[in-house]
């Protein structure tokens, strides 16, 4: 899949392309439309994956069928079994992008013909320009013919008088994280401070590091504040781990330590009760 090529307007899960590249194309536009594919990964079947390997990656039929079986999962009972591409799989995002490339090649020229910008970030499609609304019916039709459905709840048309947001970024005047993105980070920091579990704290800090890497290129006070809090939480985590080592507490999820020679420690026995005195 290293030989796979993507058009420049496709971002998300592609090395060297980020949410910033996706959003910059739609900055300061009169109208921005965001279209979300409903249950995107769950709608990608093994047949679609096999077509990607045969038509786009030029693999043989046997290789394509084997790859489709390895990369997809089955859901449902034997009588109603359905295959799908698991979200979070090591190759899932690349495969998903390739599945939608034929749709992109139909939609982008149609948008360019009426001077409208087109872009896609995995399953989020953005169209911006004075006549962006006119492309919506074509997008819905092309996706439906390809086996996908559009989430009507997430189909948003944003004029300049409204908030314009894409991929967690505010599009007004300059790119910056949205208020909802910042609130989400604050919630994660609060959860990391209040949890008693070292394992949970590690998981939350890993998410916060990913958030920081996402917003740091945009500058401003929030990334600096997030970095300061992350350093403080990392130091707190290290102190808690050191305390566990000094006190000798077992690590979370570890088996209780055994006795000498690998034997289990002896069970604690109750002290013997004194014999009862008979009443005279």
pLDDT digits (tens, 9 = 90+) for 214-230: 888 888 889 999 999 99
Statement: residue 261 has pLDDT above 60: no
Mean pLDDT, residues 54-78 taken together: 87
What confidence score (pLDDT) does residue 5 get? Answer: 82
User: d(Cα 78, Cα 202) in Å, to the nearest integer?
Assistant: 39
Highest mean pLDDT out of 80-94, 122-136, 256-270:
122-136
Statement: residue 265 has pLDDT above 80: no
Whether 104 and 120 have beta carbons less than 8 Å apart is answered as yes
Mean pLDDT, residues 233-243 taken together: 91
Q: Using 50, 70 and 90 to split pLDDT, how confident is the model at 81?
A: low
Statement: residue 185 has pLDDT above 90: yes
């Amino acid at each position: 899949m290293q030989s796979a090529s993507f058009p420049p307007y496709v971002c998300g899960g592609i090395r060297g392309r980020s949410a910033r590249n996706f959003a910059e194309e739609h900055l300061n536009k009169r109208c921005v439309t965001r279209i979300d594919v409903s249950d995107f990964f769950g709608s990608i079947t093994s047949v679609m994956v096999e077509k990607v390997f045969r038509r786009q990656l030029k693999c043989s039929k046997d290789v394509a069928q084997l790859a489709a079986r390895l990369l997809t999962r089955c859901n449902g009972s034997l009588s109603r079994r359905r295959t799908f591409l698991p979200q979070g799989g090591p190759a899932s995002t690349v495969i998903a992008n390739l599945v939608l490339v034929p749709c992109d090649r139909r939609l982008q020229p149609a948008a360019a013909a009426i001077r409208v910008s087109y872009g896609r970030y995995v399953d989020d499609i953005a169209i911006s320009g004075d006549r962006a609304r006119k492309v919506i019916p074509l997008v819905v039709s092309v996706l439906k013919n390809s086996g996908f459905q559009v989430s009507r709840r997430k189909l948003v048309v944003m004029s300049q008088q409204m908030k314009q947001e894409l991929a967690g970024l505010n599009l007004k005047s300059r790119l910056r994280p949205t208020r909802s993105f910042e609130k989400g980070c604050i919630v994660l920091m609060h959860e990391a401070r209040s949890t008693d579990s070292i394992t949970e704290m590690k998981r939350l800090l890993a998410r916060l590091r990913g958030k920081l890497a996402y917003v740091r290129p945009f500058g401003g006070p929030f990334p600096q504040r997030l970095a300061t809090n992350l350093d403080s939480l990392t130091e707190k985590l290290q102190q808690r781990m050191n305390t566990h080592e000094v006190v000798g507490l077992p690590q979370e999820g570890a088996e209780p330590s055994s006795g000498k020679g690998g034997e289990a420690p002896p069970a604690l026995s109750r002290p013997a009760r004194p014999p009862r005195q008979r009443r005279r």
